[in-house]
A and B are shown apart, each in its own frame.
Chain A
Amino acid sequence: MEEFKVPPPSKVNYLNVDYGLKSWLLTRDHKRIAFLYLGSISVFFLIGGVYAMLIRLELLTPHGQLLTSTTYNKVFTQHGIIMVFFFLIPSIPATLGNFLVPIMIGAKDLAFPRINLLSWYIYLLGGIVTVYALLAGGVDTGWTFYVPFSTTFSNSYVIATGLGIFISGFSSILTGLNFIVTIHTMRAPGMTWFRLPLFIWAHYATSLIMILGTPVIAITILLLAFERLAHIGIFDPAAGGDPILFQHLFWFYSHPAVYIMVLPGMGVVSELIANFSRKNVFGYSFVAFSSLAIAVFGFLVWGHHLFVASQSVYAGMIFSFLSFAVAIPSAVKVFNWSATLYKGSISYDTPMLYGLGFIGLFTIGGMTGLFLAALATDVHLSDTYFVIAHFHYIMVGGTLLAYLGGLHYWWPKITGRMYPEGWGRFSALVVFIGFNLTFLPQFMLGYMGMPRRYHYYPEEFQVLHVLSTAGASILGVGLIIPAIYLLWSMRYGPKAAPNPWHLPGLEWRTQSPPPTENFETTPIVTWEAYEFAPIEEMKVIGKFEESKAEV
């Protein structure tokens, strides 16, 4: 273990360096911007969660007694839109990524701090426009906006909602741009590519997708809006257009978008598994390259959403093959995480529980994706609850769990306070149980033929639906508890040391919370990523000399 000069402790950090609304709303500090995102994303998650509860309540009975059909269409549409565009896509990159990317590479901030702040305002503007559209009457086309319903027949606020999503897309693009430039040009001396934490590799790959995919959804939404406004016929067969063109353009982004959602989660999990097993990640370069591979391959598979949409069967075969191929790098990661655990010194703290949960649930979600990638089985399973269960296993069982795990793991660094570990473990368990009870029955429902987006269903499906709703309630409780204790800990939690987990990462070698410029002096990196030593030596890192304590 080499020498690292620890800076003297100081009472000034990025949270208390300046007070007042203006210092937060006009900040250029990536850490404050991450905090702003954390707040706004939580609000949107709550809204999306309310819609989820409405869906589950409606599905308790087979004859749709709570909501009319149009309202139900609006509820699941809006659940999807809010969760996908305003929670999942920004969640880890905009909160944990914004906070940690500069610190993990040893920089003072991102490359373009003002653009970072702009991206938050753009995100808010998009969110406000979308919420306005929801309140004004909502949209009922499904989050996928398929034509011709969305262009011609729907009487809902398609254009306003589309505008909100269009605007928020720019937030995504600017974040990705910032990350790419920062990682290329602002790494500290000695921080070579292969010494980077896997969290950085994952965010780099995510940023590639943001840059290359988001512009296509932008143009798609614009075309959709103009089609709805002017009825020209670009997607209308009667005028010579093709409705499938919309689906091609839409999914060209929206499939890679799911990798925007899951890749950062994988980055977090790499950190959690390695650090809480106190062991270097097995096959570091394989995991790093698999992030890039997922980013590239993710762009080659969108046609698997069009298997039953009259796409050419030859194209279907190509997309099916490629969809199997894209599973390989994900599987590499799961194998490598498992190998990392083997003979590791595992501690079952809350972040690790979420990390382990991710591995199990993501594996289930990923494997069920294979059923959907095969053309023949997809014909049976397409547009059923099997698909819904598949992607919720990855989005919730995967991304959400990783998000929660990362939040807990870096909570002491972000807030300078520790969360209550007992409550943390308890809610992780509740989340895990609630989640599986919600979505495991949905696989069965889908296989038995329950279509998605329906609220009327045959009586024999009711038992599974009731189980699912019960699970959703438990899941909801499991998610509310951390909201409460995390907020509580910001004021009353015990103050955290610079390196409360005794880990070697660069982020643990500065104060908790960090000062505005992250490090007192630019670090010079001479160690590999995940270089662990016996815990007695680890306790030296981040320990400040008492005599230099600043009053």
Chain B
Amino acid sequence: MSEHIVSVRIYFAIFLVLLIGTGLTAWVAFFDFPGPFNAVVALTIACVKAGLVVLYFMHLRYSARLTWVVFLAALFWLAIMFALTFSDYSTRDWLPIF
């Protein structure tokens, strides 16, 4: 069972996209979007960049299913920590007495 060797061309392409993404996120930060969209845009770009690093630089795209499960489990647990903690903070002022 040999490993998959990713070509230099793909690495270079991802590298370029990452650089463009960095410039984009810095440029877009100065525009005032309504509501929470500044954060949404910034995080979306960050997620895309991070996703490219994980899939190609870290070879997740070519890895065994178990590796996918491990990585997705981490994201899931992070989501649990955020979601349930914010279930407290975001509902604190729902009732006047609390």
Are A312 and B84 CB-contacts (below 8 A) given A184-B66, A212-B77, A299-B77? no
Q: Mark B30-51, 1 if CB is under 8 A from A, else 0.
A: 0000000000000000000000
**How many angstroms from the CA of A312 to the CA of B74 in the assembled complex?**
27
Which interface residue of B84, B92, B95, B98 has the most chain A CB atoms within 10 A?
B84
**How many angstroms from the CA of A519 to the CA of B87 in the assembled complex?**
52
The prevalent SS among residues of A at the interface is: helix
B95 touches A318 (CB 8 A): no
The prevalent SS among residues of B at the interface is: helix
| Residue from A299, A311, A314, A315 in contact with B80 in the complex, judged by beta carbons closer than 8 Å | A299
Q: Specify which chain B residues have a CB less than 8 angstroms from the CB of A312 in the assembled complex.
A: 87-89, 91-92, 94, 98
Q: Which residue of B lies closest to A248 (CB)?
A: B85
Binding site for B on A (CB under 8 A): 184, 212, 216, 244, 248, 252, 299-300, 302-303, 306, 310-315, 318-319
Q: Which 10 A-B pairs have the closest CB atoms?
A: A315-B88, A314-B91, A312-B91, A315-B87, A312-B92, A312-B88, A212-B77, A311-B88, A248-B85, A318-B87
| Residue from B73, B84, B95 in contact with A303 in the complex, judged by beta carbons closer than 8 Å | B84
B81 touches A318 (CB 8 A): no
B98 touches A310 (CB 8 A): yes
How far is the CB of B3 from the nearest CB of chain A, in Å? 15
How far is the CB of B93 from the nearest CB of chain A, in Å? 9
Q: Specify which chain B residues have a CB less than 8 angstroms from the CB of A319 in the assembled complex.
A: 84
Q: Mark B46-89, 1 if CB is under 8 A from A, else 0.
A: 00000000000000000000100000011001001100110111
**How many angstroms from the CA of A279 to the CA of B21 in the assembled complex?**
61
**How many angstroms from the CA of A514 to the CA of B61 in the assembled complex?**
42
Are A314 and B87 CB-contacts (below 8 A) given A212-B77, A216-B81, A299-B80? yes
Are A300 and B84 CB-contacts (below 8 A) given A310-B98, A313-B98, A314-B94? yes
**How many angstroms from the CA of A312 to the CA of B88 in the assembled complex?**
5
Extra contacts, 5 of them, besides A248-B88, A312-B88, A318-B87 (Cβ < 8 A), are A212-B74, A252-B85, A299-B77, A312-B89, A312-B92
Q: Specify which chain B residues have a CB less than 8 angstroms from the CB of A313 in the assembled complex.
A: 95, 98
